[in-house]
Amino acid sequence: MVILKNIGKAFGGFLFTIFLMGFIFTYLMSTFTSQNVLKPLFVSIVDQQFKQQINFTNEQRELLLQWCGLSKDQRVIACQAEKQFICFFSDEELEILCNLSDGLSDKQKNIILHKMLVVECLKKDNLTFGLENSTISIPCSIIQNATSDELPSILGETVFNNIYYKKYNCSFIECLMAPGGIEKYMIIISGYANNFFRSTMSYMLIGIVIGAVILFVCYESWYGRLMTAGKAMIISTIPYIFTILAINFLIPAGILSFIAPLTIELVRLMKRCLLIIFAIGATLIIVGYILKRYGKKKKITYKSKA
């Protein structure tokens, strides 16, 4: 009977630890791939991607300053003679652009980017952009109906919707294992992945409950149950602690701009989750230790009275 209990303790502890590791992973990924987390990241990423493409040369700067020195009537006459790019800016936009400093502000970049895309849309119905190793198509009607202030969020949401709601004809695992370039891994940041992780998380919970029940049956004392569960919780965080250290060590500061914000957010979620689990595990160990000490003192007191 003692041998069976020891086997049960080892097996229950193993199940509890393994499924807890799986639960941490699926919980992290289901949270990370949720729309509320990814959408703001995409807006920020796409905004930075587009603004990095704006190269405002000294020649263009001088041309703008010359244009700013013209009166409204002179601008109209100049644009009638030759339709230049600068003719597409409204008077309000030109007023903002003419207030130049050493570098372009975000608002000035938004205005320039908006007009660049609007001019490009004069001869196209859709604009196609390369986002790292993926291609995103954006309808020109969306760009033309947006203001320069609305453009960053609209572009970000459009790119997000293209990636997040993409339809796949294979299971999540099959899509990951299929041959292809880096673009196939875009499925990891999709709603398809979110559904997979959320459904898998329930199986991890079932495994945790089974492991906990086995531990409860095999350990006769509460301190044994609590301390074993606490140790298992702390052990389950170790692989993720090493993962965080590896990410911080292996990935340099200048990684692809598309990956960096996603990685930073994932690490942030991981740290928060691990801190909670580690704190709960440590608390269970401390409570179990107190119960163990209290039980020993109670036995000693009982024997001395006898």
Residues 23, 56: one domain? no
Question: Does a structural domain hold residue 112?
Answer: yes
Residues 162, 56: one domain? yes
Question: Does a structural domain hold residue 244?
Answer: yes
Residues 59, 147: one domain? yes
Q: Which domain holds residue 196?
A: 2-33+190-291
The count of domains in the chain is: 2
Residues 25, 59: one domain? no
Residues 198, 280: one domain? yes
pLDDT (tens, 9 = 90+) of the chain, 306 residues, equals 678 888 888 898 899 999 999 999 999 999 999 999 999 888 888 777 776 666 666 666 676 777 777 777 777 777 766 666 667 777 777 777 777 665 667 777 777 778 778 877 878 888 887 665 567 778 888 888 888 888 888 888 888 888 899 888 888 888 888 876 666 778 888 999 999 999 999 999 999 999 999 988 888 888 888 999 999 999 999 999 888 888 777 665 555 556 777 888 888 999 999 999 999 999 999 999 888 887 655 554 544 444
pTM for the predicted model, two decimal places = 0.76
Q: Which of 166, 200, 227 is the last residue of a domain?
A: 166
Question: Does a structural domain hold residue 272?
Answer: yes
Rounded distance between C-alpha atoms, residue 201 and residue 195, angstroms? 10
Question: Does a structural domain hold residue 299?
Answer: no
Residues 230, 271: one domain? yes
Q: Is the dihedral of CA 230, 232, 235, 240 positive or negative?
A: negative
Question: Does a structural domain hold residue 119?
Answer: yes
CA angle (45 as vertex; 159, 57 as ends), nearest 5: 105
Q: Alpha helix locations (H) across 165-190? A: 172-177
